[in-house]
A = this chain, B = another copy of it.
């Protein structure tokens, strides 16, 4: 089976899995929501009939009133398009959350919104990735400092800092952001704890249904500038922290995908990512360069020099020490020597004088 078929098969398998997953989700949602939906439907009909009878609406006025009620939703929440609201809206656009609590109604507004999103979303993505990377670097640095201080005090419980530790810390910070957000919205918006938590999850996944939207009560957009600031920062910081996690999980996956050819010779992707974060603060650039090369199968020096580097850097990086050493050994055998045993057999660096009469001068 060649590479084309394998990849197409993978794509097909993914499509099938996704559709199965959607079918499964649809069945569960149907089961969970249909009953409540019917109940609300009946309730609405009952109340509408009662009001209709009480006030003797004409059908036309009835529809007019409905339309007015729907249009007045954002109006009741304060001025949606004055500066604070517009800034909130712009944030919701470039993060692709898109609550829809307000949406441009003029053609000019819609046109600008499309152009704004076209450039804003990539910019936002790059910013979040960049912040996520910095967060990860900082966590890796802190973890190593923490380990070193533990070792100095004689504790050896944290022998090595692995990518799993990094991810765990990232996720913990993300969880803390969600908890603080849940508390904030529970207190200020009077949502239940569960609803506030649900809101945070729907926001940070950038789904943003808009069934729960903060800053939509009691003219909050104009009356509570601090709360507006806190909400916008909550969305941006939360997405940055989750970018840090995605950075760890996805970047490794993407990197390993991009170089499938050399994948077999490589460290696990997560290890590469951690190494990348760790090296900035902990490993001398030169050392890392050589060690990095070694894992993809290049040896820019002599093997003896390679071996001497490992113990030097091991004190700092400590990344799957055994597998790194083995991969270097493999490389030494495969990368340069194994593919051309004939040359190795006749390379006699130690006794040049003995065979100098055999050497082609043009090779000098």
Contact = CB atoms under 8 A, between A and B. Distances in A.
Interface of A: 2-4, 7-8, 10-11, 14-15, 17-18, 21-23, 25-30, 32-34, 36-37, 40-41, 44, 47-48, 51, 54-57, 61, 64-66, 68-73, 75, 79-83, 86-87, 89-94, 96-100, 103-114, 116-121, 123-127, 130-131, 133-134, 137, 194-195, 198, 201-202, 205-211, 250-251, 254-255, 258-259, 261-262, 272-273, 276, 280-281, 285, 288-289, 292-293, 296-298, 300-302, 334-336, 339-340, 342-349, 351-352, 354-355, 358-359, 363-364
A81 B34 contact: yes
A134 B8 contact: yes
26 contacts: A4-B281, A7-B130, A11-B130, A22-B87, A22-B90, A25-B93, A30-B83, A33-B109, A54-B61, A55-B55, A92-B207, A100-B209, A110-B194, A118-B205, A121-B205, A210-B210, A258-B273, A261-B288, A298-B335, A336-B336, A345-B352, A346-B348, A346-B349, A346-B352, A346-B359, A348-B359
A309 to B, nearest CB: 15
Nearest to A116: B25
B276 A29 contact: no
A110 B163 CA distance: 32
A127 B2 CA distance: 20
Nearest to A40: B71
Contacts of A336: 336
A202 to B, nearest CB: 7
A195 B209 CA distance: 20
Contacts of A56: 55
A210 B100 contact: yes
A33 B106 contact: yes
A216 to B, nearest CB: 13
A131 B258 contact: no
Contacts of A302: 339-340
Q: Nearest 7 CB-CB pairs, A to B?
A: A69-B69, A98-B207, A103-B211, A100-B210, A100-B209, A25-B90, A26-B87
A120 B109 CA distance: 33
A86 B7 contact: no
Contact of A359 (B198, B258, B345): B345
A48 to B, nearest CB: 6
Contact of A258 (B22, B89, B254): B254
A110 B255 CA distance: 35
A21 B123 contact: yes
Which residue, A86, A259, A296, has most C-beta atoms of chain B within 10 A? A86
Given A26-B90, A123-B21, A296-B296, A114 B349 contact: no
A205 B118 CA distance: 8
Nearest to A135: B11
Contact of A127 (B15, B111, B116): B15
Given A25-B116, A100-B210, A44 B72 contact: yes
Given A75-B41, A110-B194, A288-B261, A349 B342 contact: yes
Given A33-B86, A66-B69, A262-B293, 12 more contacts: A7-B130, A7-B280, A29-B86, A29-B113, A33-B81, A37-B79, A44-B75, A70-B70, A113-B202, A255-B259, A300-B334, A355-B358
